[in-house]
Structure 1
Amino acid sequence: MATSPLDMLDVDDLLSDEERDVRSVTRRVVDDHVRPYVADWYERGAVPVRELALEFGKLGLLGMHLTGYGCAGASAVQYGLACMELEAADSGVRSLVSVQGSLAMYAIWKYGSEEQKQQWLPGMAAGELIGCFGLTESDHGSDPANMSTRARRDGDDWILTGGKMWITNAPVADVAVIWARADTGVLGFAVPTTTPGFSAREIANKLSLRASSTGEITLDEVRLPASAQLPAAQGLKAPLSCLTEARFGIIWGSLGAARDCLETAISYAVSREQFGRPLAGFQLTQAKLADMTLELQKGYLLALHLGRRPTLRPEQVSVGKLNNVREALKIARQCRTILGANGISGEYPVLRHANNLESVLTYEGTSEVHQLVIGQRLTGLNAFGG
């Protein structure tokens, strides 16, 4: 009798009824509004962000782990399970939710004024307003401390000049959380995208995360009132804390992509015959499936452990992101070999997941960055830039 990969250890026994309910509800909305269309979105390189945001907003998936302002106040594990179901459909769709909730909304929720929270968060939680998070620059990806974007005072106003690159949701955003260097250090701003001097263009010709809106932001003497500054965000620690928040969703989301690949490979191997027997009946195929199932289950248990922790240190999040994304990508590639030539077909999700995971491996901290974070914790020595 065939068993689903995550049923091998009966890990569902570790979840509460409420956690299973969140998973089920998220899976249903994904089955209804994402899975039937995502292969076409990926092929066309276009995704209906606003329509999806409204559907996700109805279920409370946007900023779901935050409290107040229309947010659901869900637990970390509930949020993680939702991310897993979203990314089981597509990493780009999960990125939409993660950037909206864990980056843009979290930055305003954590560091914004009460006026900013009231202005932006209820509409963002409902999916009526879209946010993006402008930290990465074309020349400063893993090294945001040396960002080129500048903020200078002009009377009571701020003037922002510079640019941001690879910014999810930017072409369709209503508000951009922009990080810039000022004389006093790194500051954050909630920038309405209708502000003169702000522009965002869609980045074309992507080979990964094609079912996601990704943009390049240009800030040409963008004048903002003092009220646009996030008052509690002082220094680089603020945007880095937002990244730590978002990486938790990646720890779970990558498992969803891996699970979908593995379930696809098992189904294919059972039904596909070669040399007079199903592929699943060959020892080499079963060895691949067994090894991938082990890694998927270990990644799940790691994610669940981190989700149950009352607090998480950055290096603990780095352990989760480094392991789970790296192993998810290995699983996707191995599953592609089981599907043979069909593995490169858009009729199956496996290579789409693998391509997407190449981006997930890089964004919000490359594998190398997370290795150095872990290494610094182990040795007490900072090897960044060494």
Structure 2
Amino acid sequence: MRAAVLRDVRRIDVVDLPSPEPVGADSVLVRVGAVGVCGSDVLRFGLGKGYGFPLVLGHEMSGTVAESSADGSFQPGDRVAIFPCLPDPHDPMTEIGEFALAASYDYFGSRRDGGLEEELRVPARNLFRLPEHVSLIEGALVEPAGVALHAVRKAPVPPNATALVIGAGPIGLFAAQWLRVGGVVRVLVADIDARKRRIAEQLGFETIDPTDSGSDEIAIDRTDGRGVDIAVEASGLGLTFLQAVHATAHQGHVILLGDLSTDAPLAKETVSRILRRELTLHGTWNARITPRGRSDWDMVIASIGRTVNALDLVSHIEPFEEAQRVLEGLADRRVWANKTVFAVSEEARAEADRVLAASLSRAEVPA
């Protein structure tokens, strides 16, 4: 099979590899369909921030089942989304279904080879069947949509709630949509990128341009001095994390969704605000696939293409053989992109033109 192998920092070779070995119990052979590019993939490529080389990147994955599972629950031809976390069966957190909170686990695309190869063997419990109306391209976005859902579910939604999402990338726009689905009446979305703000506006959100004033100052002004009930930091900056804290109303909730790339020193005034407003800060990590049928991933798959829009976040669909060129462009910021997806299978490549022709994000790509 063909695979795009990260050999070293900024070096990917497309080569032939043997078919993958079984993984865990009841391992099922899957033909990889589409793979989303996460910011962590760009860091692994551009800076070597990973678990070593060689490595096949890709943890946001969809595919088509190529053989029956042992219990018959999956059959050849089933289109699936692939949960990337492989739990440690002996960890106490695994026993309660918190696979990604375990002290140790395996992970497609970071700790073991991931989706930028034509085939993958996946434990049956990591597979989620896609409905007929959900494309393979959308299936690759189940993982980031699940991360965003898992985050916003941590905050209770009061009546007539307002929320602020700082960062209008794919994770931020998924978070904004989930807040709306969950009953938040007014969702403000802040980003310095005018193109991302336009996408947010077309998805029905009120936007904030924080270029001259902080997101917190504008959000407080727009809520008549009260602040928002829920603030989601989805930019990954220390500054925007502090802005999220300062934008939040009394007894509000702050969700730290972005993995910070800079420090966030807490001045005593900030700590006083957290105390005197009785704010709640939530950390969040990955998503849950348990209990089956009522998990984060089950909700994503039931909602995507209906109440949650994934396709409008896709700006680029590329052949996976072009991984070197594409990741160089993203690492060097030579190209504007919202969500880039690699098409691995012919079925996914056949979806590309239709998806891009209708995507709001594609419309923002310079000609």
Choose between structure 1 and 2: higher strand proportion.
2
Q: TM-score, normalised by structure 1?
A: 0.30
Q: TM-score, normalised by structure 2?
A: 0.31
Choose between structure 1 and 2: higher helix proportion.
1
